[in-house]
Amino acid sequence: MAPIGDISAERLGGLLRTGFLGRHILAEELLESTNLTAAALAPASEEGLLVLADQQSGGRGRNGRKWASPPGRNLYFSLVLKPCCHPSAVPQLAIVAALSISRALERLGVMGAGVKWPNDIHCNRRKLCGILCSMSSLGDRAEYAIAGIGLNVNMEELDFPESLRCTATSLLMETGRRMDRALVLAEALNSLEEDYSLWKKHCSLSPFMERWDGMDVLKGKTIVAEHGGGIVAGRADGIEASGLLRLETADGLKLISAGDTHIVNQGQA
Ligand code: BTN
Protein backbone atom coordinates (compact mmCIF):
# COMPACT_ATOMS: atom_id res chain seq x y z
CA MET A 1 0.00 0.00 0.00
CA ALA A 2 1.37 3.41 -0.97
CA PRO A 3 0.95 5.89 1.91
CA ILE A 4 -1.93 8.30 1.58
CA GLY A 5 -1.19 11.45 3.57
CA ASP A 6 -0.55 10.47 7.19
CA ILE A 7 -1.82 6.89 6.66
CA SER A 8 0.88 4.34 5.83
CA ALA A 9 0.75 0.55 5.82
CA GLU A 10 3.47 0.39 8.50
CA ARG A 11 1.68 2.76 10.86
CA LEU A 12 -1.69 1.08 10.31
CA GLY A 13 -0.20 -2.40 10.69
CA GLY A 14 1.37 -1.40 14.01
CA LEU A 15 -1.98 -0.21 15.35
CA LEU A 16 -4.27 -2.97 14.08
CA ARG A 17 -5.26 -5.80 16.40
CA THR A 18 -7.53 -7.49 13.85
CA GLY A 19 -7.31 -10.99 12.41
CA PHE A 20 -8.94 -10.28 9.04
CA LEU A 21 -10.33 -6.72 8.78
CA GLY A 22 -7.86 -4.46 7.01
CA ARG A 23 -5.26 -7.20 6.55
CA HIS A 24 -5.58 -6.70 2.77
CA ILE A 25 -5.73 -3.09 1.69
CA LEU A 26 -6.30 -1.17 -1.51
CA ALA A 27 -5.48 2.48 -0.85
CA GLU A 28 -5.62 5.23 -3.46
CA GLU A 29 -5.22 9.00 -3.39
CA LEU A 30 -8.41 9.35 -5.44
CA LEU A 31 -11.31 7.04 -6.16
CA GLU A 32 -14.77 7.82 -7.45
CA SER A 33 -16.25 5.93 -4.49
CA THR A 34 -14.65 3.33 -2.24
CA ASN A 35 -17.99 1.49 -2.22
CA LEU A 36 -17.92 1.11 -6.00
CA THR A 37 -14.33 -0.15 -6.01
CA ALA A 38 -15.02 -2.54 -3.14
CA ALA A 39 -18.10 -3.93 -4.91
CA ALA A 40 -16.09 -4.51 -8.10
CA LEU A 41 -13.39 -6.38 -6.16
CA ALA A 42 -15.67 -8.22 -3.74
CA PRO A 43 -16.50 -11.42 -5.69
CA ALA A 44 -12.80 -12.35 -5.98
CA SER A 45 -11.73 -10.92 -2.58
CA GLU A 46 -11.27 -12.45 0.79
CA GLU A 47 -13.42 -11.19 3.60
CA GLY A 48 -11.96 -8.12 5.28
CA LEU A 49 -10.54 -6.29 2.24
CA LEU A 50 -10.23 -2.59 3.08
CA VAL A 51 -10.63 -0.07 0.27
CA LEU A 52 -9.44 3.36 1.35
CA ALA A 53 -9.27 6.68 -0.49
CA ASP A 54 -7.86 10.04 0.52
CA GLN A 55 -10.40 11.73 -1.72
CA GLN A 56 -13.57 10.64 -3.58
CA SER A 57 -14.74 12.32 -6.76
CA GLY A 58 -18.23 10.80 -6.45
CA GLY A 59 -18.64 9.92 -2.77
CA ARG A 60 -22.13 8.51 -2.28
CA GLY A 61 -24.50 8.98 0.59
CA ARG A 62 -27.86 7.39 1.27
CA ASN A 63 -30.84 8.10 -0.96
CA GLY A 64 -28.67 9.23 -3.88
CA ARG A 65 -27.07 12.07 -1.92
CA LYS A 66 -23.42 13.08 -2.35
CA TRP A 67 -20.86 12.57 0.41
CA ALA A 68 -18.43 15.50 0.71
CA SER A 69 -15.00 13.89 0.25
CA PRO A 70 -12.17 16.46 0.09
CA PRO A 71 -8.57 15.21 0.41
CA GLY A 72 -6.31 15.12 3.46
CA ARG A 73 -8.92 15.50 6.16
CA ASN A 74 -11.31 12.63 6.64
CA LEU A 75 -11.69 8.88 6.39
CA TYR A 76 -13.50 7.29 3.45
CA PHE A 77 -13.32 3.52 3.47
CA SER A 78 -15.25 0.39 2.53
CA LEU A 79 -14.97 -3.13 3.84
CA VAL A 80 -15.76 -6.32 1.95
CA LEU A 81 -17.69 -8.66 4.25
CA LYS A 82 -18.94 -12.17 3.61
CA PRO A 83 -21.42 -12.87 6.38
CA CYS A 84 -23.24 -15.96 4.98
CA CYS A 85 -26.56 -14.77 6.36
CA HIS A 86 -29.98 -14.19 4.79
CA PRO A 87 -29.94 -11.02 2.62
CA SER A 88 -32.68 -9.46 4.77
CA ALA A 89 -30.25 -9.35 7.74
CA VAL A 90 -27.52 -7.42 5.90
CA PRO A 91 -28.91 -3.89 6.58
CA GLN A 92 -28.26 -4.64 10.28
CA LEU A 93 -24.57 -4.29 9.48
CA ALA A 94 -24.96 -0.53 9.26
CA ILE A 95 -26.31 -0.50 12.80
CA VAL A 96 -23.47 -2.70 14.05
CA ALA A 97 -20.97 -0.42 12.30
CA ALA A 98 -22.48 2.72 13.84
CA LEU A 99 -22.22 1.19 17.33
CA SER A 100 -18.71 -0.04 16.69
CA ILE A 101 -17.35 3.22 15.44
CA SER A 102 -19.00 5.07 18.33
CA ARG A 103 -17.20 2.71 20.71
CA ALA A 104 -13.90 3.31 18.91
CA LEU A 105 -14.44 7.06 19.26
CA GLU A 106 -15.07 6.67 22.99
CA ARG A 107 -11.80 4.71 23.27
CA LEU A 108 -10.09 7.64 21.54
CA GLY A 109 -11.51 10.02 24.14
CA VAL A 110 -14.25 11.49 21.93
CA MET A 111 -17.25 11.83 24.20
CA GLY A 112 -20.87 12.54 23.38
CA ALA A 113 -21.29 10.54 20.17
CA GLY A 114 -24.71 8.93 19.71
CA VAL A 115 -26.29 6.69 17.09
CA LYS A 116 -29.18 7.87 14.96
CA TRP A 117 -31.33 5.33 13.13
CA PRO A 118 -30.83 4.07 10.52
CA ASN A 119 -27.06 4.41 10.44
CA ASP A 120 -25.52 7.71 11.43
CA ILE A 121 -23.30 8.83 14.25
CA HIS A 122 -24.13 12.24 15.64
CA CYS A 123 -22.45 14.52 18.15
CA ASN A 124 -24.27 17.49 19.62
CA ARG A 125 -27.08 16.97 17.10
CA ARG A 126 -24.73 17.19 14.12
CA LYS A 127 -23.70 14.38 11.80
CA LEU A 128 -20.17 13.06 12.32
CA CYS A 129 -20.23 9.80 10.40
CA GLY A 130 -22.40 8.16 7.74
CA ILE A 131 -22.55 4.51 6.76
CA LEU A 132 -23.72 3.09 3.46
CA CYS A 133 -24.14 -0.66 3.04
CA SER A 134 -24.79 -2.55 -0.15
CA MET A 135 -24.84 -6.23 -0.96
CA SER A 136 -25.10 -8.91 -3.57
CA SER A 137 -27.06 -12.07 -2.88
CA LEU A 138 -27.19 -15.55 -4.33
CA GLY A 139 -30.64 -16.99 -3.61
CA ASP A 140 -31.28 -16.81 0.12
CA ARG A 141 -27.64 -16.10 1.04
CA ALA A 142 -25.72 -12.84 0.92
CA GLU A 143 -22.77 -13.33 -1.45
CA TYR A 144 -21.00 -10.30 -0.03
CA ALA A 145 -21.77 -7.03 1.71
CA ILE A 146 -19.97 -3.72 1.42
CA ALA A 147 -19.89 -1.47 4.48
CA GLY A 148 -18.86 2.03 3.39
CA ILE A 149 -17.95 4.51 6.09
CA GLY A 150 -17.38 8.24 5.88
CA LEU A 151 -16.05 9.78 9.08
CA ASN A 152 -15.37 13.50 9.33
CA VAL A 153 -12.04 13.75 11.12
CA ASN A 154 -10.14 17.01 10.63
CA MET A 155 -12.75 19.16 8.85
CA GLU A 156 -13.20 22.76 9.96
CA GLU A 157 -16.72 24.14 9.67
CA LEU A 158 -15.80 26.14 6.55
CA ASP A 159 -14.44 23.02 4.82
CA PHE A 160 -18.00 21.66 4.56
CA PRO A 161 -20.22 22.68 1.64
CA GLU A 162 -22.41 25.59 2.77
CA SER A 163 -25.53 23.43 2.82
CA LEU A 164 -23.98 21.18 5.49
CA ARG A 165 -22.41 23.80 7.75
CA CYS A 166 -25.20 23.79 10.32
CA THR A 167 -25.75 20.03 10.34
CA ALA A 168 -22.32 18.39 9.98
CA THR A 169 -19.44 18.11 12.42
CA SER A 170 -16.01 16.50 12.72
CA LEU A 171 -13.77 15.08 15.42
CA LEU A 172 -11.70 18.27 15.24
CA MET A 173 -14.76 20.47 15.71
CA GLU A 174 -15.99 18.36 18.64
CA THR A 175 -12.71 17.94 20.50
CA GLY A 176 -10.62 20.92 19.38
CA ARG A 177 -7.88 18.37 18.59
CA ARG A 178 -6.49 17.46 15.19
CA MET A 179 -6.64 13.66 15.08
CA ASP A 180 -4.25 11.10 13.63
CA ARG A 181 -6.28 9.48 10.81
CA ALA A 182 -4.30 6.22 10.93
CA LEU A 183 -5.07 5.83 14.62
CA VAL A 184 -8.77 6.60 14.14
CA LEU A 185 -8.97 4.12 11.25
CA ALA A 186 -7.14 1.39 13.18
CA GLU A 187 -9.36 1.82 16.25
CA ALA A 188 -12.46 1.75 14.04
CA LEU A 189 -11.31 -1.51 12.41
CA ASN A 190 -10.36 -3.08 15.75
CA SER A 191 -13.78 -2.30 17.13
CA LEU A 192 -15.60 -3.32 13.92
CA GLU A 193 -13.98 -6.74 13.83
CA GLU A 194 -14.98 -7.46 17.41
CA ASP A 195 -18.61 -6.45 16.82
CA TYR A 196 -18.94 -7.89 13.33
CA SER A 197 -17.69 -11.27 14.57
CA LEU A 198 -20.31 -11.25 17.31
CA TRP A 199 -23.07 -10.20 14.90
CA LYS A 200 -22.08 -12.89 12.40
CA LYS A 201 -22.69 -15.62 14.97
CA HIS A 202 -26.30 -14.49 15.46
CA CYS A 203 -27.23 -12.63 12.24
CA SER A 204 -29.38 -10.57 14.61
CA LEU A 205 -28.96 -7.41 16.64
CA SER A 206 -30.01 -9.15 19.87
CA PRO A 207 -26.49 -8.89 21.42
CA PHE A 208 -26.43 -5.14 20.63
CA MET A 209 -29.82 -3.99 21.91
CA GLU A 210 -28.58 -2.62 25.21
CA ARG A 211 -25.77 -0.69 23.56
CA TRP A 212 -28.15 0.80 20.99
CA ASP A 213 -30.53 1.79 23.73
CA GLY A 214 -27.75 3.57 25.63
CA MET A 215 -26.63 5.59 22.59
CA ASP A 216 -29.90 6.12 20.69
CA VAL A 217 -30.31 9.86 20.06
CA LEU A 218 -33.92 9.40 18.88
CA LYS A 219 -35.23 7.40 21.85
CA GLY A 220 -38.33 8.99 23.36
CA LYS A 221 -38.21 11.91 20.92
CA THR A 222 -40.99 13.04 18.60
CA ILE A 223 -39.68 12.40 15.14
CA VAL A 224 -40.72 12.16 11.54
CA ALA A 225 -39.54 9.28 9.40
CA GLU A 226 -39.48 9.78 5.64
CA HIS A 227 -39.78 6.75 3.47
CA GLY A 228 -40.79 6.15 -0.14
CA GLY A 229 -42.22 9.64 -0.55
CA GLY A 230 -44.34 9.35 2.60
CA ILE A 231 -43.88 10.76 6.09
CA VAL A 232 -44.80 9.10 9.39
CA ALA A 233 -44.68 11.02 12.66
CA GLY A 234 -44.50 9.54 16.13
CA ARG A 235 -42.45 8.91 19.23
CA ALA A 236 -39.29 6.86 18.63
CA ASP A 237 -39.14 3.78 20.81
CA GLY A 238 -35.82 2.16 19.92
CA ILE A 239 -35.32 -0.67 17.46
CA GLU A 240 -36.26 -4.31 17.01
CA ALA A 241 -33.53 -6.99 16.94
CA SER A 242 -34.15 -7.09 13.17
CA GLY A 243 -33.08 -3.44 12.90
CA LEU A 244 -36.55 -1.97 12.28
CA LEU A 245 -37.32 1.35 13.97
CA ARG A 246 -40.18 1.27 16.49
CA LEU A 247 -42.40 4.30 16.10
CA GLU A 248 -45.40 4.93 18.36
CA THR A 249 -47.87 6.80 16.18
CA ALA A 250 -51.42 8.03 16.72
CA ASP A 251 -52.48 4.83 14.90
CA GLY A 252 -50.40 2.52 17.08
CA LEU A 253 -46.92 1.04 16.84
CA LYS A 254 -45.39 1.13 13.37
CA LEU A 255 -42.18 -0.64 12.39
CA ILE A 256 -40.14 1.36 9.89
CA SER A 257 -37.71 -0.50 7.65
CA ALA A 258 -35.84 2.33 5.89
CA GLY A 259 -35.71 6.07 5.42
CA ASP A 260 -34.47 9.30 6.94
CA THR A 261 -35.43 10.43 10.41
CA HIS A 262 -35.63 13.94 11.83
CA ILE A 263 -36.28 15.06 15.39
CA VAL A 264 -39.19 17.48 15.47
CA ASN A 265 -38.63 20.92 17.04
CA GLN A 266 -34.90 20.56 17.53
CA GLY A 267 -33.76 21.80 14.15
CA GLN A 268 -33.01 19.24 11.50
CA ALA A 269 -31.27 16.25 13.06
C1 BTN B 1 -24.88 8.59 4.46
O2 BTN B 1 -25.55 9.14 3.58
O3 BTN B 1 -25.01 8.90 5.63
C4 BTN B 1 -23.89 7.52 4.10
C5 BTN B 1 -22.55 8.11 3.73
C6 BTN B 1 -21.49 7.08 3.41
C7 BTN B 1 -20.22 7.70 2.90
C8 BTN B 1 -19.15 6.69 2.71
S9 BTN B 1 -17.57 7.43 2.37
C10 BTN B 1 -16.90 5.86 1.99
C11 BTN B 1 -17.95 5.11 1.20
N12 BTN B 1 -17.87 5.46 -0.19
C13 BTN B 1 -18.94 6.12 -0.62
O14 BTN B 1 -19.12 6.55 -1.77
N15 BTN B 1 -19.82 6.26 0.38
C16 BTN B 1 -19.34 5.66 1.60
Q: What's this model's pTM, rounded to 2 decimal places?
A: 0.95
To which H or E segment does residue 242 belong? none
Q: Is 2 exposed, middle or buried (0-12, 13-18, 19+ CB in 10 A)?
A: exposed
Report the atom number in ligand 1 closest to the C-alpha of 129: 3
CA 100 – CA 195 distance, rounded (Å): 6
Report the atom number in ligand 1 closest to the C-alpha of 119: 3
Distance of CA 85 to the CA centre of its chain: 20
Provide the residue-wise pLDDT of the chain in tens; the chain has 269 residues: 788 888 999 999 999 999 999 999 999 999 999 999 999 999 999 999 999 999 999 999 998 999 999 999 999 999 999 998 999 999 999 999 999 999 999 999 999 999 999 999 999 999 999 999 999 999 999 999 999 999 999 999 999 999 999 999 999 999 999 999 999 999 999 999 999 999 999 999 999 999 999 999 999 999 999 877 789 999 999 999 999 999 999 999 999 999 999 999 754 44
CA 261 – CA 259 distance, rounded (Å): 7
Residue identifier of the C-alpha nearest atom 3 of ligand 1: 130
User: What is the DSSP secondary structure assignment for residue 109, as one 8-state letter?
Assistant: T
Provide residues with CB under 6 Å of ligand 1. Answer: 33-35, 56, 59-62, 65, 67, 76-78, 120, 130-132, 148-150
Distance between Cα 208 and ligand 1 center (Å): 23
Task: Identify any residues that bridge with 245 across adjacent strands, giving them in sequence order.
Answer: 239, 256
